[in-house]
Amino acid sequence: MSSEADGKKDVRAGLQVRGGGPVSAQGPSPRPRRPTRPVKVGPVVIGGGAPVSVQTMTKTDTRDVQATIDEIRRLHIAGADLVRLAVPDREAAKALRAIVRQSPLPIVADIHFHYQLALMALEAGVQKLRLNPGNIGGPERVRAVVREAKARGVPIRIGVNAGSLEKDLLSAHGRVPEALVESAERHVKILEDMDFHDIVVSLKASDVPTMVRAYELMAERSPYPLHLGVTEAGPGLAGTVKSVAGIAHLLLEGIGDTIRVSLTEESAEEVQVGLEILYALGLRTKTLEIVACPSCGRCEIDLFAAVREAERQLQDLKAPVKVAIMGCVVNGPGEAREADVGVAGGNGYAVLFKKGRMERRVTEAEMIPALVAEVRQIAEEKARAGA
Ligand code: SF4
């Protein structure tokens, strides 16, 4: 979380009913969720009966801090719970500190082969690493990373991919589910031997039956939470169907603790598909969701008071309406447009957006009453349309 947001209320988490397990407002989930070890990623818990979280990956160059932060803010508004960033080199690792400081979402650093990048990411304050310990060059290097991750309470996701299986496994088994599981177990053992257990595992394949079977096998053999995904699912409809087929199948079996839909599309679309899967399976309930920026030196309104007031006035509302309250007219409008109703505060005034379009300017005193009136109107429209 950003330092600005430290200690401040997570507005979205406070209002959104995050279904999951047997107590979703839409009824019980299809099968009891598989018991797993809870793993903390900043304020988000993966496994241990926590609601299934939705994550995605930024498509920006991580070295471009502003572009990356802008994308993360859009993902926050879209409903992502955490976000992963590629860290291919030292420059990207150096950018992490500023990104972590400003990000409204927990950051996962995705690292291949370079243990020093993992150490830099940990020093920058990332909340999770995605790294395969068997690929970072020997026990001493793994130990250095594990020691630091443990000291900071940062978990590690082991991400096995059918496209990059170890050669010996490929020649012994081929690209089959059992080989994916064996590869994951090798990496897990390296961490367990160092008494590290804050582990999340993924076993991705672009072939849906292979991916599904690999996760089923792993779920029978391992206590660690599972990150579900169909890798390289592709663009548009075909990619969406592949992702839904694999992820939904497993979730219906009670398997899976966090999901990532991979599409050759905008990352916000991946989040939207992920959320729709959870809604469709009754693992999350659509309801009023208020998101707010974490605030920063640009903020020109009393953001926290405004958010509290909106929350108070809308607490009775059960409709699936997304509301954004942003602190400034520099970066706020982009995000405010993504919500059903959004406001971006200026000096003594605010700009009100509805369904992606700028509606009007209001005074700061009128801001929350105007927002609440628009939200109620949208809620009524949605109720009439049977949303
Ligand atoms: S005040 Fe503006 S720049 Fe600062 S976090 Fe909020 S929207 Fe972003």
pLDDT band at 25 (very low <50, low <70, confident <90, very high): very low
**CATH 3.30.413.10 location in the chain:** 289-385
The best mutation among 68, 69, 298 to test binding of ligand 1, ranked by most ligand atoms within 8 Å of the C-beta, falls on: 298
Return the exposure string of 179-217: e unless at least 16 CB atoms fall within 10 Å of the residue's CB, then b: bbbbbbbbbbebbeebebebbbbbbbbbbbebbbbbbbb
pLDDT digits (tens, 9 = 90+) for 131-186: 999 888 888 999 999 999 999 999 999 999 998 899 999 999 999 999 999 999 99
pLDDT at 386: 66
User: How confident is the model at residue 5, as a pLDDT?
Assistant: 37
Asked if pLDDT for residue 1 goes beyond 60, the answer is no
Q: What share of the chain is helix, strand, coil (3-state, %, to 5)?
A: 45, 20, 35
Greater confidence (237 vs 386) lies with 237
Which whole number is the average pLDDT over 244-254? 97
Q: Calculate how far, in angstroms, residue 109's C-alpha sits from the geometric centre of ligand 1.
A: 23
**Which tens digits make up the pLDDT trace of 282-310?**
898 878 889 898 888 889 899 999 999 99
Between the CA of 356 and the centroid of ligand 1 the distance, in Å, is 18
Residue to substitute in 291, 293, 337, 338 for testing ligand 1 pocket (most ligand atoms within 8 angstroms of CB):
293
Whether pLDDT at 382 is above 90: no
Tokens describing residue 72: 């993360």
Q: Which residues line ligand 1 (CB under 6 A)?
A: 293-296, 298-299, 326-328, 330-332
The residue to mutate among 68, 328, 329, 338, having the most atoms of ligand 1 within 8 angstroms of its beta carbon, is 328
pLDDT digits (tens, 9 = 90+) for 72-87: 998 998 889 999 999 9
Spatial contact of 306 and 345, defined as CB atoms under 8 Å apart: yes
Q: Is 181 left (phi over 0), alpha (psi -120 to 50) or beta?
A: alpha
Starting at the edge strand that comes first in sequence, how are the strands of the sheet with 82-86 ordered? 199-204, 156-161, 128-130, 107-110, 82-86, 53-57, 258-260, 227-228
Residue ranges, comma separated, of all CATH 3.20.20.20 domains in the chain are 19-280
Number of Cβ within 10 Å of residue 330's Cβ equals 14
- The SS3 of residue 89 is coil
Cα of 244 from ligand 1 centre, angstroms: 34
Q: What percent of the chain has pLDDT over 70?
A: 91
Most confident of 87-91, 130-134, 228-232, 331-335: 87-91
| Tokens read off for 17 | 């009913």
Higher pLDDT, 21 or 160: 160
b/e code 349-385 from CB counts within 10 Å (16+ = b): bbbbbbeeeeeeebebeebbebbbebbbebbeeeeee
Sequence length of the chain is 387
Nearest Cα residue to atom 5 of ligand 1: 295
Q: Which residue shows structure tokens 């579900």?
A: 228
Q: How far is CA 61 from CA 69, 116, 229, 285, 337, in A?
A: 11, 19, 22, 34, 24
Kindly report, residue by residue over 214-225, the tens digit of the pLDDT: 999 999 999 999
Residue with more model confidence, 181 or 18: 181
pLDDT mean across residues, the chain: 89
CA 65 / ligand 1 centre spacing (Å): 15
Taking the centre of ligand 1 as the mean of its atom positions, its distance from the CA of residue 353, in whole angstroms, is 16
d(CA 342, CA 353): 5
User: Which amino acid is it at 94?
Assistant: K
Ligand 1 mean position, distance from CA 93 (Å):
24
pLDDT band at 23 (very low <50, low <70, confident <90, very high): very low
| Parallel/antiparallel/unpaired status of strands 39-41 and 44-46 | antiparallel
Which ranges of 153-300 would DSSP assign to H, the alpha helix? Answer: 167-173, 177-193, 208-221, 236-252, 267-280
Give dist(CA 130, CA 201) in Å, integer. Answer: 9
Res 317: pLDDT? 87
The atom number, within ligand 1, closest to the CA of 102 reads 5
What local confidence, expressed as pLDDT, does residue 364 receive? 92
Buried b (16+ CB within 10 A) or exposed e, 265-295: bebbbbbbbbbbbbbebbbbbbbbbbbbbbb
What is the whole-number distance in angstroms between the Cα of residue 292 and the centre of ligand 1?
9
Q: Tell me, what amino acid is at 170?
A: L
CATH topology assigned to domain 289-385: Sulfite Reductase Hemoprotein; domain 1 (3.30.413)
Q: What is the pTM of this model?
A: 0.78
Structure tokens at 10: 């997570």
Q: Which fold has domain 19-280?
A: TIM Barrel (3.20.20)
Ligand 1 centroid – CA 254 distance (Å): 39
Side chain identity at 200, as an amino acid letter? Answer: V
Do residues 320 and 288 lie in contact, with contact meaning Cβ atoms separated by under 8 Å? yes
Looking at the chain, the whole-number percentage of residues with pLDDT higher than 90 is: 74
327 Cα nearest atom in ligand 1? 1
Counting from 1 in the atom list of ligand 1, the atom nearest the Cα of 104 is 5
Which atom of ligand 1 is found nearest the CA of 300? 1
